């Protein structure tokens, strides 16, 4: 059993506007395994958050995770994936379904919401990608 922790963040400058994602993957002992920040073109903030979540799930799977703990600072996206909020937007419904499908590859998963300052590494990657870094 390999449990990995994934911090994710997505953001856009303008809503919609230029958008990017940030993903930080940590091992069972909290060691940094990989981080990724990349532009994703033009998107809304919520679409960017979902795209970051999908990238994080994919990265955890690539690293052989059997369990994954997902952490993000978008309360909307976290609550939608938990099933506590309805997904009303059609585009987000598709991304939500994609996330739910992707999560079936793990034996178990959790998702939690943190304040932005507790997600600083993923946030830094988003801003670096948007700034062209």
- The pair of structure tokens assigned to 119 is 């997600």
What is the radius of gyration, based on Cα positions, of the chain? 14
Task: Give the model confidence (pLDDT) of 92-107 as tens digits.
Answer: 999 999 999 999 999 9
Residue 133 has pLDDT above 70, yes or no: no
Phi, psi angle pair for 98, to nearest 5°: -65, -40
Domains of the chain: 3-130 (3.30.420.10)
* Angstrom distance (rounded) from CA 34 to CA 54: 15
Average pLDDT over residues 64-79: 98
Residue 119 reports pLDDT greater than 70: yes
State pLDDT tens for residues 7-38: 999 999 999 999 999 999 999 999 999 999 99
The model's pTM: 0.96
């Amino acid at each position: 059993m390999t449990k990995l922790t994934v911090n994710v963040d997505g953001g856009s400058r303008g809503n919609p506007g230029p958008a990017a994602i940030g993903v930080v993957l940590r091992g069972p002992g909290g060691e940094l395994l990989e981080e990724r920040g990349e532009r994703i073109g033009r998107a809304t903030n919520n679409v960017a958050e979902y795209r970051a979540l999908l990238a994080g799930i994919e990265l955890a799977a690539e690293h052989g995770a059997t369990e994954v703990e997902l952490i993000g600072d978008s309360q909307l996206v976290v609550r939608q994936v938990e099933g506590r909020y309805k997904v009303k937007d059609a585009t987000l419904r598709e991304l939500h379904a994609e996330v739910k499908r992707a999560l079936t590859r793990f034996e178990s998963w959790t998702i939690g919401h943190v304040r932005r300052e507790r997600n600083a590494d993923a946030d830094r990657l988003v801003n670096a990608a948007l700034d062209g870094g």
